[in-house]
Amino acid sequence: MAFKHLFTPHQIRGCEISNRIFSTAHQTILARNGSPGEDMAAYHEARARGGAGLIVMESSRPNSDEVSQSYYLNSSSDECIPGYRMVADAVHRHGTKIFAQINHGGRITYAQDGLQRVAYAPSVVPDHRFHCMPREMSTDYVWFIIDAFAKAAGRLAEAGLDGVELTASHGMLIAQFLNPLTNFRTDEFAGSDEARFRIVTEMLTATRAAVGPDKVIGMRISAEEIEPDGLDEAAWLSICQRLNEEPELDYLSVTTGSMMGLAGSVHVVPPMHIEHGYVTPQAGVIKEQVRKSVFVAGRINQPQIAEQILEKDQADMCGMTRAMISDADMPNKAKAGRLDDIRVCIGCNQACIGHYHMGVRISCIQNPISGRELELHPHPRAENPKRVLVVGGGPAGQKAAAVAGERGHHVILCEQSKQLGGQVLLAQLLPGRAEFGGITGNLNREMEIAGVEVRLNTHVDRAFVENLNPDAVVVATGALPFRPDVEIGDEVHVADPWQLLKGEVDPGASVVIADWRCDWMGVGLAEKLASEGSHVRLCVDGEMAGQNLQKYLRWHWVGQLQKLGVEIISYARFYGAMEDTAFFMHSLSGEAIECAKMDTLIVAQGHYPITALEEALQSCEIPTYSAGDCCSPRSAEEAIYEGMQVGRLI
């Protein structure tokens, strides 16, 4: 594909960005004591080396009261300058421009050291995600915050960054001032659209004075906030028209959603169920109305999508953050025409935003090196190339084979079925999960590049291994559905998830799902069956459906289940089944839960590891390694990480 637009430069206030690909501000959990460090510099440098035109660093807090965690960037004092300079120097080495983001959450706040902080907002209006009741900011405090933003911007300019971005997106403080439903003040910052907008004018004026005439100033906005008390599309368009008249503002970065509630928060990092590039039509409408540069982000995971956006003139720059978390070299590969070599992001949210919500550093289930750049250098070449047998063609086996092959080993991968992919092949059959199958395609390409020999329909036992006589064996034989030791009557129509997804059973009109894992399998089966006309009772052995999924994915999925009429029963530990009734025990009270008049019981009780080959090879002198679900059934993230580590170890 010819990229006529994607790799052309873009000028903003004399700052030339080499191409139209940028990384949006996103939390990495790589800051140390409020400042950027070597880990963060290495992370952003990898994306700069990979060809990104622009990197926007994660949001920083301009006043120390807003820094609730040590891994949040703190731009409220000069102590941040050396760290920012380190990152800027690392990024500039590769010709990439770098901006910093400044943000204040207002009523959207977090606990600090286990204590709920005092939150300050334009007015006393609670949010519906963090359930915070804020305190109204005094007029003097508003002016203090304006000054804090400007001073923070001055520090970032002194550190050598090329620009700053002020955050008015996702229902943050600036958006709260602009919104008549969250701003009931009686001073000069409320009462009319113009008065509510005053904080923006004052911030831009003060910020420009602090950074000087040459630095770029942008503002991130939501095209709509998707919350009952949020600003809608028409309101934001009107605000953008006002922003267009601000001489100190150079660009608008358009996203969507709000952190004021659960529905809007889903769009902060939209999961794979949401359409690719879905924000761009709204960005295009804004671009028609303004003279400023317009950036856009929202599920732009492939360069072809970005090229189409630019061709339609819906934006000037395309945010491809997760695409570059999955493959830091994506821009360079696209520019060189190596599209098949790109490790495409699948929008799973598991190790990027999912890690953030767990308070651990960013990574990617497909690319464990992301976020570990200082710890995991490029795979070292093998000093003595070996003949390596990998048994199992799921993610763990594929990754082990690809890495071992890349290092110079001769690798043979044997898979007993007719197709590679393991459980990924089943996961991709669920509604909205087809993209998950991209893991297999990406790993297949990695193996192809590494020269791995693949043998399908090949059963491996000890005799096979001894006959082949490799120098090393990697066991990645996966897992099978687990059936708990409970009483299930012979008359019960019972199936496991694999049988259902393979179309081997007719579920009937009424289905009960006994969901132990509380992850994608239970909610995915519930959506599939309800969409096909069954009445579904999803009985989860946990606090909520999708408990072990990333928050935004879970919230989106639970919303879908509610629309489909799925009955969700929490705290339900599977106890057995007789005739047309499934029995559960409430895991807290111990009381019985009965689900009667069912046609089919789906026993989704996890998996057990397949260890037969590993056990058969215990007395074998050939070095043997294990990875993935055959060690302990978990997720694709652990499988790929362990496969990579084994491939590096041999």
Region 39-54 average pLDDT: 98
Class of the CATH-defined domain 387-480+609-649? alpha beta
Residue 185 pLDDT class (50, 70, 90 cuts) = very high
Residue 117 pLDDT class (50, 70, 90 cuts) = confident
Domain with CATH 3.50.50.60 in the chain: 487-605
The whole-angstrom separation of Cα 223 and Cα 119 is: 25
Helical residues (DSSP H) of 252-293, grouped into ranges: 262-265, 280-289
Residue 36 pLDDT class (50, 70, 90 cuts) = very high
The whole-angstrom separation of Cα 72 and Cα 27 is: 8
Predicted pLDDT at 70: 75
Secondary structure (3-state) at 317? strand
Whether the per-residue pLDDT at 372 is higher than 90: the answer is: yes
Predicted pLDDT at 67: 66
The whole-angstrom separation of Cα 443 and Cα 387 is: 20
Predicted pLDDT at 109: 82
- Residue 615 is which amino acid? E
Query: From the centroid of its chain, how far is CA 449?
Result: 27
- For CA atoms 224, 226, 228, 230, the dihedral sign is negative
Predicted pLDDT at 272: 95
Region 486-506 average pLDDT: 97
Domain with CATH 3.40.50.720 in the chain: 387-480+609-649
Predicted pLDDT at 610: 98
Region 503-511 average pLDDT: 97
Predicted pLDDT at 377: 86
More confident residue, 572 or 110: 572
Q: What does the pLDDT look like over 419-475, one tens digit per residue?
A: 999 999 999 999 999 999 999 999 999 999 999 999 999 999 999 999 999 999 999
Whether the per-residue pLDDT at 111 is higher than 80: the answer is: no
Region 537-562 average pLDDT: 97
And the tokens for 480? 């099978």
Predicted pLDDT at 201: 98
As separate numbers, helices (DSSP H) first and strands (DSSP E) second, the chain gives 21, 31
Q: List the one residue out of 277, 102, 264, 246 whose CA is nearest residue 174.
A: 102
The whole-angstrom separation of Cα 73 and Cα 62 is: 9
Residue 358 pLDDT class (50, 70, 90 cuts) = very high
Q: What does the pLDDT look like over 271-326, one tens digit per residue?
A: 999 999 999 999 999 999 999 999 999 999 999 999 999 999 999 999 999 999 99
* Cβ atoms of 50 and 329 closer than 8 Å: yes
Residue 105 pLDDT class (50, 70, 90 cuts) = very high
Q: What does the pLDDT look like over 622-634, one tens digit per residue?
A: 999 999 999 999 9
What global pTM score does this model have?
0.96
Predicted pLDDT at 475: 98
Q: List the one residue out of 127, 237, 266 whose CA is nearest residue 178.
A: 237
- Residue 326 is which amino acid? S
* Cβ atoms of 122 and 136 closer than 8 Å: yes
Q: What does the pLDDT look like over 63-79, one tens digit per residue?
A: 877 766 778 899 999 99
The whole-angstrom separation of Cα 159 and Cα 618 is: 57
Q: Does domain 487-605 have CATH number 3.50.50.60?
A: yes
Predicted pLDDT at 69: 73
Whether the per-residue pLDDT at 482 is higher than 80: the answer is: yes
> What percentage of the chain reaches a pLDDT higher than 70?
100
CATH topology of domain 10-266: TIM Barrel (3.20.20)
Helical residues (DSSP H) of 55-192, grouped into ranges: 81-92, 139-158, 173-178
Domain with CATH 3.20.20.70 in the chain: 10-266
If you compute the radius of gyration of the chain from its CA atoms, what whole number of angstroms results?
26
* Cβ atoms of 409 and 385 closer than 8 Å: yes
Cβ count near 323 (within 10 Å): 28
Region 521-550 average pLDDT: 97
Whether the per-residue pLDDT at 563 is higher than 70: the answer is: yes
Predicted pLDDT at 590: 97
- Name, in order, each residue with C-beta under 8 angstroms of 387's C-beta and a sequence gap of 6 or more: 409, 410, 412, 470, 471, 472
The rounded mean pLDDT for the chain is 96
* Cβ atoms of 70 and 133 closer than 8 Å: no
